Chains A and B, each alone.
Chain A
């Protein structure tokens, strides 16, 4: 079991503010990192698949960066909106078959 850690566990953001949070993972034998968004009462949905050191991905107001050498990825939400409230999961590929998930960062956006 590989240790994928996400911090903080939860955060509250005022509508319109920007925020970011971290996923850390083992830096050796990197294969790929995924970010998922998980809304209450729904199933996780993929946001980003990141494979290269220095990767930056963007989807609307949400973006992510990747540093494989130091073993971390940041997810950024710009101008948070209530619909951004969700748990954001990162997942580290152990090999071609197995994905190890972090416990998630739960974001609550206050109107």
Chain B
């Protein structure tokens, strides 16, 4: 069982560049989430999806876009990266009444 897979694991971007982070889950979960983790801040919700074709804003959505064209995939896009987006990004999925299943994270550095 792969569970939740995030790609890439690491990335370095220059300010203004764009990129897409991919999250894939093989558990047929309805709900998917993107979090960022910064020192002393805990996990903060960027965007989430309650099903294929749906997305919604979380606590810190600015500078990010998401898409959920297929149930198993949840993409996080940065159109114009900024140093403030240097962080570790975690994707998670769940089904009704279940806890979150997390991916292994993507460490992004924006210089």
- Contacts from A to B (Cβ < 8 Å): 1, 34, 36, 42-46, 49, 89, 91, 97-104
Contacts and interface: CB of A to CB of B under 8 A. Distances in A.
A101 B43 contact: yes
A24 B31 CA distance: 25
Contacts of A44: 43, 90, 100, 102
17 contacts: A36-B100, A43-B102, A43-B103, A43-B104, A44-B100, A44-B102, A49-B97, A49-B99, A97-B31, A97-B48, A98-B48, A98-B58, A100-B45, A101-B35, A103-B41, A103-B42, A104-B42
A34 B35 CA distance: 16
A98 B45 contact: yes
B92 to A, nearest CB: 8
B99 A46 contact: yes
B78 interface: no
Contacts, number: 47
A71 to B, nearest CB: 18
Contacts of A89: 42-43
Interface string B77-111: 00000000000001000000111111111000000
